[in-house]
Amino acid sequence: MRFGFDIDDTLINLREFAFHLYNKKLSKNIDLSVFKQLTTVEIHEPFGLTKEEGKNLWNTCRSEIYFSDCPSYPLAVEVLNELVQKGHEVYYITARNKEFSEQTEKWMKKAGFPVEKNHFFCGMKDHEKINIIKNLSLDYYFDDKPAVLNTLLETNITLYVRDQSYNRNWKGKRLTNWSEIRNLL
């Protein structure tokens, strides 16, 4: 089987990591329960920032958010390695900017994810992911954004949303813990 994965907020806990970082940078102490109720992918609102200010802060902190020590979700690394050991193929499709491609691939390897040559794709827009995903003839695809999954509804790919507070309206299959993949096989 061929498995495709988005990275941010699907395999790694990026927004929560950034939320802690924002608290530190802005000398605030906004509770994690606020984060857990956000209905937007963006996290700036509880900090009293405008959309523009939020965008600027994200871009200023981006390298630190991406490449310091953002944790992966529990069992994500283990389960993806198990897939490869069982002979399945694992692909990554991330819409991070192209300029971060090489560093992101390295970071994923260092975090313990199995990344084989030519199995890592970076730098497309969300709505362009479909082109890569179709070319790879994936059997399964996992993402946190309904906007991405919605572009794939007409394909035969089995789609899963990685549960997040902003995607609870997604009606399809939902994964809340990576151990659930073990039941698929």
Closest alpha carbon to 41 in 156, 148, 183: 148
Q: How far is the CB of 9 from Mg ion (least distance, A)?
A: 4
Q: How far is the CB of 172 from Mg ion (least distance, A)?
A: 16
Q: Which is nearer to Mg ion, 26 or 94 (CB)?
A: 94
Q: Annotate 43-71 with b (16+ C-beta within 10 A) or e (fewer).
A: bbebbebeeeebeebbeebeeebbeeebe
- Alpha-carbon Rg for the chain, nearest whole angstrom, is 16
Q: Which is nearer to Mg ion, 16 or 144 (CB)?
A: 144
Q: How far is the CB of 131 from Mg ion (least distance, A)?
A: 17
Distance, CA of 172 to CA of 144 (rounded, Å): 12
Q: Which is nearer to Mg ion, 22 or 141 (CB)?
A: 141
Residue whose Cβ sits closest to Mg ion: 8
**Angle at which helices 51-67 and 101-110 cross, to 10°:** 50
Q: Which is nearer to Mg ion, 10 or 151 (CB)?
A: 10
Q: How far is the CB of 7 from Mg ion (least distance, A)?
A: 7
Q: How far is the CB of 110 from Mg ion (least distance, A)?
A: 19
Helix spans in 111-171 (H): 129-135, 146-150
Q: Which is nearer to Mg ion, 50 or 165 (CB)?
A: 165
Instruction: List residues near Mg ion by CB under 5 A.
Output: 6, 8-10, 144
Q: Name the phi and psi angles at 2, rounded to 5.
A: -115, 120
Distance, CA of 154 to CA of 117 (rounded, Å): 29
